[in-house]
Structure 1
Amino acid sequence: MIPIGKKMQLTQKTNMCLGHKKGLNFALTPKDVPTLDIITSIEETCQKLSEDVSNEFRIRSKMILEKPLKIKSNISKEEMLALKELKNDKDIKILPADKGNATVIMNTGDYNSKISNLITEGQYTKLNKDPTKNTPHFIEKLTTININSTELLVSFDVVSLFTNVPVDKTLSIVRNKLENDNNLKDRTKLNVSAFMELLTLCIKTTYFQLENDFYQQDFGMAMGSSLSPIMSNIFMEHFEETYVKSYINKPKIWWRYVDDVFSIWPHGQDNLTDFLNFLNNIEPTIKFTLELEENNKLPFLDVMISKNTEINSNFQTNVYRKKTNTNRYLNFNSNHHLSIKKGVIKSLYDRAKLVSSNVNFFNQEKDHIKNILKENAYPINLVDRAFLQIENPSHNNQQRQNPVANMTIPYIPGISEKLKKLGNNFNIRTAFKTNNTLRSILTHTKPINKEQNEKNCIYQIPCQCGKHYIGETSRPLDVRIKEHKNYVRNYQVDRSNLAQHVWDNHHQINWKEASIIQKEQNFGKRKLKESACIQLNGGVFPNNVFPVK
C-alpha cells in the first residue's frame, strides 16, 4: 500500500482490509448464494440446448441448488467491520496504482486537488452536461541480433504518448492512407469522407466525470479509449518512417512497443545525445526520455538484457521487476476458483521459462516465484505440484469436443464445482466470475447515483394491495417511472399492465417506494431475471415474458 499526502497515515482498519497481500482484486465470499444470477445463467444456457436436454439439465441443476449450503466467509468478523468502516470513510480515496499492482490511499481533499490541478493545467474543457506486441515477440527477435562491445544498449520512452498525440495531424495521416488504399472498396462500403467523419466523431467526443462535473479532453488521445493505441501507433509509424529512418546516424535497432523503444546505438554517446535532441525538436508535444545501459545491462519491458562481454555475441536475459513492483498477486484466500490460482502459478512459471536465457537464471526465478507466492498465501506443496504438472504434462487427455454451449456463473464454493461437473456431462463449458472484490467495494471515483437514476435494472413498484409490479429497463429508472405515471394518468392501459391494474382495481401506487431489485447490463439476462423475479416474488403481471421453468 502506498499512502500519498503529508498527513496520510495507514490506519489499523486500512492495514486489516488491504494488508497481508490481499490487494483490490481480492474477492469476498458472498453472504448468500446468488440464486437469481445462477438461475439466469442456467436458463440462458438452456435456450441453446434441445428441449429434452435442457429439461434434464435444468432439473439436475435445480437439485444442486436446492441442497442447503452454509457459505464460510474468507475474512474475519474484525476484517468485515473494518471493511464497512473503510467503505463509509468519505475522507479518503482508495485507488489502484497504474503500475506494480499497488494500492494507493489518498486524502479525498488531496485527490480532488491533484485532479483539479491536472484539469486546470492540462488540455481539458468543462462540459455543460454528460455528452504492441509483447515480451515473447521481443525475446524472439532479440535472439537473432548480435552486438559488439562498442555498441550501446539504449531505451527510449515517449512521455505520455496517448495524451500528447497531435490528433488533427494523425487524422490527416489516416485520410492520406485511405485515399491511397486501392483495396478500401473491398473492405467497406463507406467512402473516405464518411469514414473520416465517423472516426473524427469517435475521437473528438471523449469526456470524463469528476464528482458531478463533466470534462472534455481538448488535445491528444483519451486514456482508456480503444482507438487511442491504434491512432497513437499510426502517428508513431509515420514519425519513424519520416524522421528516424532518414536520420544521418541511424540506430542499428529501433524496436518500439507502444511508447517504449529498445535500441542498439553504434555511433557513440555524443552522437546519441544529438539524436535525442533531434527527436525532441520535431513535434512540440512528442518528447522522448532516454535510459542508457549500466554495467552492460539494460531493463526493457519485464526483461533485464545483459551483454555477453566475453565475445561479440548476442545477449543474456532474465526476469526484471521495476522498483514499483509489489510482488502482489491474486491472494490464495480470494474467492476465486482453484483453476484461476493455478493459472497465476503457470503464468509466472511460463514467464520465467521464456525470459531466462540459462538454467541458473531460470532456477533463481523459480525460487523467487515460490517465495512470493508463499507471501500471497499459496501452499508451497500446491506450487510444487503445479510446477511438476507443467514440466511433465499428461498426454492422456482425449481431444475435447467443441462445447454445445457456454455458461458463466458466479463462483460459490461447494456449488459452482458441482454445476461445472454437471455441465461437463452435457458438453457445456463452464466459466466462473467473481464480482464482490475489494476494488468494487472501496474504489469509487465517481459520485454514487441515486437509486432512481440507475440504468439497466430490474425494478419493483409497490401497490397499496401489497403486491408489486416488477419490470426491467435499460434507461434511468426515474424515466421509466414517469412513463408508468403517464400511462396511469392518461388511462393508457394498453401500454402498461401497471396502469391496467390501477384502473381495474382502483388502487393507489406508492411511487416513492419504487426500488431496484438487481442491476444487469445484458439485455437477454435482464429479461430472464425479470421473469424469474416475477415468478419468485409474485409480481403483479407475469405476462409477455420469457418462461422460466
Structure 2
Amino acid sequence: MSQKLTKSYINVPEKRPFSDKSIGQRFNEVANQNPDKEMYVFYADKERKTFRQMQEESQQFAGGLLKLGLKKGDTLGIWGGNHYEWLLAYLASLQIGVITVITPAKLPVVDIITSTESACRKLPPGEAGELRAKVVNLVTRPNCNKIDSNLSKEEREALQQLQKDQSIQILPADKGRLVVILNSEEYNRKCEKLVSDTNTYKNLGKKDPTSKYKKQLTSVLLEIEKEGGINRVEYRQLYPTTETPPKFYGLPKIHKKDTPLRPIVSSVGSITYSSAKLVADILAPLVGKTEHHVANSQIFAERIKNETVEEDEELRSYDVTALFTSVPVDKALRIIQHKLGVIQTLHHRADSIISEQEDIAEEKSHINSALKKCGYPNWSFDKAKKAKEGKSKNSNLKITNVETKGQVVLPYVKGTSEALRRIFGTYGIRVCFKPTQTLRQLLVSPKDKTEKKDITGPIYYIPCQGKTLQGQCSESYIAMFGDYALRFSVLGCDFQLK
C-alpha cells in the first residue's frame, strides 16, 4: 500500500541530519532566539539591522506582496545588487512561499537569438532582416552585458559547490513540483536494479548501435519522402544530425514505500527525437478521449463522490509494473491505423462518389451509426473529422503565412527585455517573458550532460562585411552555432564578429 504523503519531502537515515524547516521558518526561529543580535551590516548604505528588525520589516514587505496578488508558489524576479532592499525583498518572499528568481550572470544571448529566429520565420524576408539587425544592435551594446547579480559572492559559491557535489543527486520527484536529494550511491544502486531486469532491457554489449539505427531511420525517412508522406523541408527537419543515444535516469516515487525510481528514457537530442516528436503530435488528439480515461485523482474523486460502496463490495486500485515498456507497440499501431483508416476511407469514398451534399451527409451518418455498433468510440470520428479540417486549414495558412503574426518567449533581463519587446512589437510579434534562472533549473539535472564534442547544431554561412586592401571582402565565415562568442578575423580583413 502507498504511503500517505503529508510533507513535501522524504528523508532516509543519513550521516548528515536533514532539516525539516524551510529557509523562511529557520530565519524566523533564529530571529526569535536572538532578536537583538546584529544580523547584517550594510557598510555602503550605512545600515545596521538586528534579527528582530529584519524580521518585522520583511513581514511588512511580505504583506505588501500579498496585496499585490502574489501567492505561494508564484515566481518573483528581484532585480538589485547586494543592498539592504534586495535582502529585505528576498526574506519577504520566503515568508509567504514565493519563489525568487536569480538574475543571470551574463546576457542570455543564445535564448535571444533563438526567439528572434522564431519570430523571423513569421515575417516577410525584408522585415525579418530589419528585426535581426535591430536585435543585434541592441544586444551588442556594452551596457547590455553589465548585469548586477542579486546573489552575493558566498551564495553563488554555495550554488557552485552544490552543482559539483558528486555525493548527492538533486532530482525532481515523480509527482508534484518537489525536489528530492538522494545519496548518489543509493541512486546508482536503484538505477542498476532497474536496468538489470532482462525482461525489459537488453544488454547491447560493447558496441554502440546508434550509428546503425541512424542509417535505418534515414532510409525510412527517404522512403516516406518518395511516397509523398513528407516533403523535402520536412525530411531535413526530421533527419538525425547527431549520433547521441537516448539517456536513462530515474525519478523518485516519494509517495511509495522505500522510494523506488520511475525509469525514464529521454530521447531529447537523440537520433529519434524529431521523428518521435512528430509522431507524438499526430497521436496527441487520440489521448484521453475514451470513456474509461481518468486524467488525475481529482477527476476520479469527482466521478465517484456520489457512488456508494456496499458492505459486500470493495474498491481496489491496481498498479501496473513497467506499463509503458510492456505495451506491445506493433499491436497498438495496428489498432490506431485500423480505426482511423476505416473511417477516413469510407468518408472519402462518400465525398468522391456521391454528388449531392444532402446524400453525402446521409451516407456519412449511416457510416458512423454502423461503425458505432461495431464498437468505434466517439473520439475516433472526431479525430477523422479534425484530420480533414486540418488539411484544409494548412492549405489556407500557406497562402496567408506572410500576414500571420505570432508570439515569442524571451528571458527577462531588466532593461534589455523591455527594449526587445518594443522592437518585436513594431513587427506585430507579441513577447512573453520567462525567468532566466531558478534554483531548480540550476541544481536539478537528472540527465547526464552531453559532452561538448557530441553536441550538434545548425551551421551558419555568414558573408564577411569587412574590407581588405583590395576593397570589399568577398569571403565568408562558416561556423557551428555557439561559435559566435569567439572573436575571429576573416582572412586578414578588419571585420570581426563578437
Q: Which category of TM-score, normalised to the shorter sequence, fits these structures?
A: 0.3 to 0.5
Structure holding more helix per residue:
2
Q: Which has the higher contact order (CA 8 A, sep 6+)?
A: 1
Report the TM-score when normalising by structure 2. Answer: 0.40
